[in-house]
Amino acid sequence: MGNGHGPLKVFATTAGVPLAAKVWDHLSCKPGLLDSGRFKDGEISVQIGEDVRDCDVFIIAPTNVPADNFMEAMLLCQAARLSSADRITMVVPYLGYARGDRKDQPRKPISAKLALQMLELPKPNRFIFLDMHNEQTLGALDTVFDHLYGSAVAVPHLKALLAQSGKPYIVAAPDAGAAQRADKYAHFLSGGDADIVIFSKMRPKPGEIRSNSVKIIGPPVKGKIVVLVDDMIDSGGTIAHAAAKAKEKGAAEVWVFATHAVFSHGAFKRLRESKVDRVFVTDSIHHDPDLVAKEGGGKIAVLSCGELLAKAIHRTHEGESLSQLIL
């Protein structure tokens, strides 16, 4: 079958392999063969280990730190292009450097735009992204893209667990920027125009939250499960502060869903010691499951976005609409 772009081949950069393993499984396809390594000085060497001439190539390439992940993604895309692939789709479950999405202060770069421009350099034909920090950033692209959301993974799961709990709940945005996302989750979880709560905070600089700056805006949370939804957990500070405020106001439990588990240094400890009861993330960024189980204090559950990406790849390959994957 296929859509006239040749046989389907799915490759992954080093950072993408654990997630790709699930995608290969769902698609019942063989891993794309690569011969990757490093030069003595640490530079990346990539060689595609099979024929991709006139093939429909997908490259799963999260670009979380280190920045080498960008380089490997670009090299692999260029290798596929130079090997006469008919079509190349870069599947980017997590786009690193996406938080710098505007020049809101003098003498600052717009890192998100640069990150996208870098990935466009080797001329892929399409992109598939998952839960961009700010989807307007994708307007910087000249290449065709599809944008999927973590809600497609989270909502069915959260819906079942919330129903099981039998407790009242309210969806919450951990900061003002997340209000639209929270509104969408509230709609999908509860239907109609369900209420949301918004937490506001002041960040004197990236990674810091001004103490006592957290405020809660919206209906009472007393006795309810507060379901915080965000695009990412980095240091864990945002949700730890919001959870503390929610509990101070009488919330029964605090649950968190964030698509991207950045989990930078200190995040596990912060989550363990926080008032958050349950954390749900996806595997858009890979972490050793044993480490998550051990360091997460039993609070963290990882939901896989592998099936969602596999469906997106299959539908793209077949030339079918992706709308039904967008929740």
Q: Site residues (CB under 6 A) for ligand R5P?
A: 174-175, 177-178, 207, 230-238
Whats the size of the chain, residue-wise? 327
Task: Check if the beta carbon of residue 90 is closer than 8 Å to that of residue 126.
Answer: yes
Q: Minimal distance in Å, beta carbon 103 to ligand R5P?
A: 16
Q: Is 245 a catalytic residue?
A: no
- In whole angstroms, what is the distance from residue 98 CA to residue 133 CA? 6
Closest CA to 308 of 77, 8, 93: 93
Task: Check if the beta carbon of residue 194 is closer than 8 Å to that of residue 187.
Answer: yes
Q: Minimal distance in Å, beta carbon 21 to ligand R5P?
A: 27
Q: Minimal distance in Å, beta carbon 177 to ligand R5P?
A: 5
End-to-end CA distance of the chain: 27
Nearer to ligand R5P by C-beta: 76 or 92? 92
- In whole angstroms, what is the distance from residue 235 CA to residue 101 CA? 19
- Candidate list 22, 184, 201, 299, residue with the active-site label: 201
Nearer to ligand R5P by C-beta: 151 or 238? 238
Nearer to ligand R5P by C-beta: 25 or 208? 208
Nearer to ligand R5P by C-beta: 36 or 235? 235
Q: Which two tokens stand for residue 183?
A: 């509104």
261, containing H or E segment:
strand 253-261
Nearer to ligand R5P by C-beta: 2 or 177? 177
- In whole angstroms, what is the distance from residue 91 CA to residue 154 CA? 20
Distances (CA, A) of 271 to 123, 191, 230, 292: 40, 30, 15, 11
Q: Which residues are catalytic?
A: 201
